Structure 1
Amino acid sequence: MEIAENAALVVVDVQKGFEEQYWGQRNNPAAERNIAALIDLWQRTGRPVVFVRHDSSAESRSPLRVGHGGNDFKDFVEERRGKGNGSELLVTKSVNSAFYGEPSLDVWLKGEGVAQIVIVGIQTNMCNETTARMGGNLGYDVVFPLDAMHTFDLEGPFGWAATAEELTRATAVSLQGGRFARVVSTGDVLEGAAAE
């Protein structure tokens, strides 16, 4: 797989609040290791990295609320911020899509001449999927390494429920089947990025 020399890594909502029991059962315990490996390669090769933080309202009960410790990035992400040789951006948002954050992700990417984005982080079927769909709609070549993210079991309407793994598979099928993104592995991305 080809990863552009200026492909942007978009690291979505890797925040301490997702470690709380509030969310329930998660999948993919390797997610953090794979996210770290991708950040390290991006920073080493001077590619742009975008760190996205979800700021829930301070009045909410969300573990991601502003002023709560869960709003902070997980340590392995915070330790890497500002360490790369390439450009870096912090986007804050209060909705699912990183394209509806501040400052404008789309404006920044276009200003950097970026046409390809690689999306990692939390949650697979929520903010990651929404950002991927919008990125595809906006004309970006979206790469979605499925093992560099995770999600949680979820209950829905009509008494339906889905496990984190079922939701992950549904997201993968929807994104690739709908041509919003290419769903790949971390290994695919690491190999493609190192070959440039």
Structure 2
Amino acid sequence: METLPNNTALLVVDLQKAIDDPRWSRIGPRNNPQAEANIAALLAAWRQGGRPIVHIRHDSTDPASTYRPGSAGHAFKEEAMPLPGETVIGKRVNSAFIGTGLDEWLRGRGIGTLVVAGVITNNSVEATVRMAGNLGYDVRLVADACFTFARLDRAGRFRTADEVHDLSLANMDGEYATVRETAEVLGEVLR
């Protein structure tokens, strides 16, 4: 098992109260019910080691969005609440790199390795990971610290949240990121 560089940044994507709105699970339930606990464990390890943490907050411009600023859903979930001094970067689209200062913030600190967790696996997480890989970052995507929801495919067939999640991970693994589990990543930082 490798050791991650000391300045590896943890990016927690969109883990806000909005994600608990029943509209997200109208087609079917989410997967990885332990994701929040795994994110809390990652945050604790990063804080213990004094490593950089970036909380990505979705600031939707859609008036009907559960992520709209000023709504109850805009707040971070308790498990991912930023501590004073931790960086919070707001975004308005699915990728945390579009229209934000994230790339400049990371490069300005000499950060080249990222660990990514959060929601939704096949949406904001995947968009952020793909862009990070394209920008040359060495990315670890933590599979069990992300989750998504069931969906209907283009033919109208029901796809479980696990199926959607697993296909999204397969799309990213190897080309844009290395997919890991929480225990593996913790082993790489708690040495």
The TM-score range, normalised by the shorter chain, is over 0.9
Distance of 2:99 and 2:158 partners within structure 1: 30
Aligned residue among 163, 168, 171 for 2:168: 171
Aligned residue among 140, 162, 178 for 1:182: 178
Match of residue 50 from structure 1: 54
Match of residue 84 from structure 2: 82
Aligned residues: 187
Q: Is the 8 A contact 1:96 1:130 kept in 2?
A: yes
Q: CA deviation at 1:65?
A: 1.1
AA matched with 2:48: R
Instruction: Percent identity, please.
Output: 42
AA matched with 2:151: L
AA matched with 1:40: A
AA matched with 2:187: E
Higher mean alpha-carbon deviation, 1-10 vs 136-145, is at 1-10
AA matched with 1:111: G
Aligned residue among 61, 65, 68 for 2:68: 65
AA matched with 1:183: V
Q: Is the 8 A contact 2:37 2:79 kept in 1?
A: no
Say which SS state the counterpart of residue 11 (structure 2) adopts. strand
| C-alpha spacing 1:51/1:107, structure 2 compared with 1 (3 Å) | same
Aligned residue among 103, 119, 136 for 2:133: 136
1:91-150 per-position Cα deviation (integer Å, ceiling 9, x unaligned): 101111011143x11000000100100000111111111101000000000000100111
Higher mean alpha-carbon deviation, 32-41 vs 61-70, is at 61-70
TM-score when normalising by structure 2: 0.93
Q: CA deviation at 1:2?
A: 2.6
Q: CA deviation at 1:81?
A: 1.9
Match of residue 36 from structure 2: 32
1:126 equivalent to 2:123? Answer yes
Distance of 1:47 and 1:144 partners within structure 2: 17
Say which SS state the counterpart of residue 40 (structure 1) adopts. helix
Match of residue 15 from structure 1: 16
Distance of 2:145 and 2:131 partners within structure 1: 19
Q: Is the 8 A contact 1:97 1:128 kept in 2?
A: yes
- Please state which structure has a larger fraction of its residues in helix: 1
TM-score when normalising by structure 1: 0.91
Distance of 1:17 and 1:144 partners within structure 2: 22
Distance of 1:82 and 1:148 partners within structure 2: 23
Distance of 2:77 and 2:99 partners within structure 1: 20
AA matched with 2:182: T
Structure 1's consecutive aligned runs of 4 or more residues displaced over 4 angstroms after TM superposition are none
Question: What is the RMSD of the two structures over their aligned residues, measured on CA atoms?
Answer: 1.3
